[in-house]
Structure 1
Amino acid sequence: MIFPAKRNDFPLKKSPLIAFTILLAAVSILPGCKDTNLSSDAPLEGAVPAVIASSTSPVSFWVATDTHYLNKSLQDGGPAFQSYVNSGDGKMLPYSDELMEALVHDAELKKPQFLILSGDLTNNGEADSHKELAAKLKRIEKQGTSVYVIPGNHDLFNPWARSFKGDKQIVTDHITSKDFTELYADYGYNEAISKDTNSLSYLVEASPGLWLLMIDSSQYVNNEKYGFPQTDGRILPATLSWIKDCVKLASEQHASIVTVMHHNLLSHTSMSVSGFKLNNSQETMAALRQDGLNLVLSGHIHMQDIRRDPAAGQTAADSNVLPVYDIATSAFAVNPHQYGEMTFDPQSRKVTYHTASVGVEQWAADNEITDPNLLHFKAYAEQSFSESSYNKAMKNLKDSSFSEADKQSMARMMSELNVKYFAGTAGTDAEAIQAMPGYQLWMNQKEGFMSGYISSMLKPKEQSNIALEVTLTTQ
Structure 2
Amino acid sequence: MRKYRLSVILLFAIIIVSFGCTEAFQYSIDCAKIEANKDFTFFIVSDPHYISKESYDNGKAFKDFLNTGDGKMLNHIDELFDALIEDIEAEKPDFLIITGDLTCNGAKQDHIGLTERLKLIKDMGTCVFVVPGNHDIQNPHSREFIGDEARDVETITPDEFMTLYAPFGYEGAVSKDPNSLSYLAMPAEDTWLLMLDSTDTDNNFRKKYPEQSGFLRGGTLDWIVQCADLAEKNNARLISVMHHSLIDHSEMIKTNYTIRNSKEALKVFHKSGIEIVFTGHIHIQDIKSDEFQGKKIYDIGTSSLAVYPHQYGRMKFTPYIGFDYRTIQLDMDDSGFDFEDYSAHFFTEQCGRMHQKCLERLEGLPDAERKIVLETVGRMNMMYFAGYRNEALDNIVNTEGFRMLEKIAPCFTKEYAMSMLNDDRTDHNTLFISVSSYEKQ
Whether the TM-score (by the shorter chain) exceeds 0.5 is yes
1:43–1:226 CA distance, 2 compared to 1 (3 A): same
Q: CA deviation at 1:335?
A: 0.4
**Which residue in the other structure is 2:9 paired with?**
none
Moved more, 104-113 or 388-397: 388-397
1:114–1:71 CA distance, 2 compared to 1 (3 A): same
The reply on whether 1:125 has 2:87 as its aligned counterpart is no
Out of 384, 399, 416, the residue aligned to residue 453 of structure 1 is: 416
1:97–1:201 CA distance, 2 compared to 1 (3 A): same
Out of 308, 323, 346, the residue aligned to residue 351 of structure 1 is: 323
Out of 8, 11, 18, the residue aligned to residue 40 of structure 1 is: 18
The reply on whether 1:245 has 2:209 as its aligned counterpart is no
Mapped partners of 2:243, 2:377: distance in 1: 28
**Which residue in the other structure is 2:8 paired with?**
none
Q: In 2, are the aligned partners of 1:257 and 1:472 still within 8 Å (CA)?
A: no
**Which residue in the other structure is 2:302 paired with?**
329
Q: CA deviation at 1:190?
A: 0.7
The reply on whether 1:106 has 2:78 as its aligned counterpart is no
Secondary structure, aligned partner of 1:468: strand
Give the unaligned 5+ runs of structure 2: 1-11
Q: In 1, are the aligned partners of 2:88 and 2:121 still within 8 Å (CA)?
A: yes
**Which residue in the other structure is 1:188 paired with?**
169
Q: In 2, are the aligned partners of 1:67 and 1:122 still within 8 Å (CA)?
A: yes
**Which residue in the other structure is 1:29 paired with?**
none
Deviation string for 1:266-292 (max 9, x for gaps)? 001122641111110000000010111
Moved more, 55-64 or 103-112: 55-64
1:41–1:378 CA distance, 2 compared to 1 (3 A): closer
Mapped partners of 2:295, 2:51: distance in 1: 40
Moved more, 192-201 or 402-411: 402-411
Secondary structure, aligned partner of 1:60: strand
- Where do 4+ consecutive residues of structure 1 move more than 6 Å? none
Deviation string for 1:342-379 (max 9, x for gaps)? 1122x216111101112232xx3xxxxxx533xx3223
**Which residue in the other structure is 1:409 paired with?**
372
**Which residue in the other structure is 1:207 paired with?**
188
Q: In 2, are the aligned partners of 1:442 and 1:450 still within 8 Å (CA)?
A: no
Mapped partners of 2:328, 2:342: distance in 1: 17
Write the mapping of 1:212-227 to structure 2, written as runs, cut at 5 A: 212-227=193-208
Mapped partners of 2:434, 2:18: distance in 1: 27
The reply on whether 1:379 has 2:351 as its aligned counterpart is no
**Which residue in the other structure is 2:6 paired with?**
none
Give the unaligned 5+ runs of structure 1: 1-33, 311-315, 365-370
1:438–1:38 CA distance, 2 compared to 1 (3 A): farther
User: Amino acid of the residue matched to residue 342 of structure 2?
Assistant: Y
**Which residue in the other structure is 2:289 paired with?**
308
Q: In 2, are the aligned partners of 1:386 and 1:416 still within 8 Å (CA)?
A: yes
Secondary structure, aligned partner of 2:43: strand
The reply on whether 1:421 has 2:355 as its aligned counterpart is no
Moved more, 107-116 or 380-389: 380-389
1:248–1:458 CA distance, 2 compared to 1 (3 A): same
1:246–1:349 CA distance, 2 compared to 1 (3 A): farther
Out of 272, 275, 290, the residue aligned to residue 291 of structure 1 is: 272
1:388–1:234 CA distance, 2 compared to 1 (3 A): closer
User: Amino acid of the residue matched to residue 357 of structure 1?
Assistant: Q
Mapped partners of 1:409, 1:52: distance in 2: 54
Q: In 1, are the aligned partners of 2:36 and 2:190 still within 8 Å (CA)?
A: no
User: Amino acid of the residue matched to residue 231 of structure 1?
Assistant: Q
1:60–1:52 CA distance, 2 compared to 1 (3 A): closer
Out of 49, 66, 72, the residue aligned to residue 85 of structure 1 is: 66
**Which residue in the other structure is 1:157 paired with?**
138
Q: In 2, are the aligned partners of 1:181 and 1:189 still within 8 Å (CA)?
A: yes
Q: CA deviation at 1:130?
A: 0.2
1:289–1:463 CA distance, 2 compared to 1 (3 A): farther
| RMSD, aligned CA | 2.4
Mapped partners of 2:222, 2:54: distance in 1: 42
Deviation string for 1:86-120 (max 9, x for gaps)? 11111111111211222122211111110000100
1:264–1:88 CA distance, 2 compared to 1 (3 A): same
Q: CA deviation at 1:57?
A: 4.0
Deviation string for 1:105-156 (max 9, x for gaps)? 2211111110000100000101111001001000001111000001000000
1:307–1:195 CA distance, 2 compared to 1 (3 A): same
Identity, % of aligned positions: 35
Write the mapping of 1:264-275 to structure 2, written as runs, cut at 5 A: 264-271=245-252, 273-275=254-256
Q: CA deviation at 1:38?
A: 6.8
Mapped partners of 1:53, 1:342: distance in 2: 15
Q: In 2, are the aligned partners of 1:38 and 1:245 still within 8 Å (CA)?
A: no
Moved more, 78-87 or 283-292: 78-87
Q: In 2, are the aligned partners of 1:211 and 1:258 still within 8 Å (CA)?
A: yes
Deviation string for 1:44-84 (max 9, x for gaps)? 643579x9963644201011111000112211111111111
1:238–1:393 CA distance, 2 compared to 1 (3 A): closer
Mapped partners of 1:396, 1:80: distance in 2: 27
Deviation string for 1:411-465 (max 9, x for gaps)? 2201211110110113342322211222222222343222212111222324631
Secondary structure, aligned partner of 1:186: helix
Mapped partners of 1:352, 1:168: distance in 2: 47
1:40–1:303 CA distance, 2 compared to 1 (3 A): same
1:382–1:325 CA distance, 2 compared to 1 (3 A): same
Secondary structure, aligned partner of 1:40: helix
